[in-house]
Every structure is written in structure tokens, then in C-alpha cells.
Amino acid sequence: MEETEKKIKDIIDTLRPYLINDGGDIEFIKYENNIVYIKMMGACADCMMMDFTLKDGIEFAIKEEVKEVLEVRNIEEKEEF
């Protein structure tokens, strides 16, 4: 699982500059039960297009490279892990 988690973090690090360029950011939280938990921050957290960015961008990119990933979920500020 550590290798899988490293791949996921590497993909996220590749995507981060695009989000930062638009005033947002992304943080890896954890990988558990084939689900990637991330936190969208900055402009991305309140963006109307966040679901599109999350599912059609981030989730697609991760699932393309890491076949065992089933889903990518955004963690809200109030959620605890």
C-alpha cells in the first residue's frame, strides 16, 4: 500500500501547480479501502466547478494511473480524520 500511496501523492503533486495557478490547492489526507481522501483548499474549496475538477480531473488522473483506486473524495473542513 505504501507504493500505491506514493503513486497517488506523486500524481497529486503533478496536478497541484494547475490548482495553485487558479488560486486553489489540494492536500492528500489518506488512502484507505481503495478510496483517496483529499482536501480541496483556497479558491478550489468554494468553486462552483469543484465537483467537475474533483471527478473529471483529479479522480480521472489518479484512476488512470492507479487502477485499484475506486474513488477520490474531498474532505470538508468540519470533517475529522
What burial class does residue 6 get, using C-beta atoms within 10 Å of its C-beta: 0-12 exposed, 13-18 middle, 19+ buried?
exposed
Which residue ranges form the domains of the chain, and what is each CATH number? 2-74 (3.30.300.130)
Q: What is the DSSP letter of 41?
A: E
The reported pLDDT for the residue numbered 79 is 53
The reported pLDDT for the residue numbered 47 is 85
pLDDT digits (tens, 9 = 90+) for 32-80: 999 999 999 999 888 888 888 899 899 999 999 999 999 999 997 655 5
What's the CA gap between 4 and 63, in Å, rounded? 11
Query: What CA–CA distance (Å, rounded) separates 12 from 27?
Result: 8
pTM for the model: 0.88
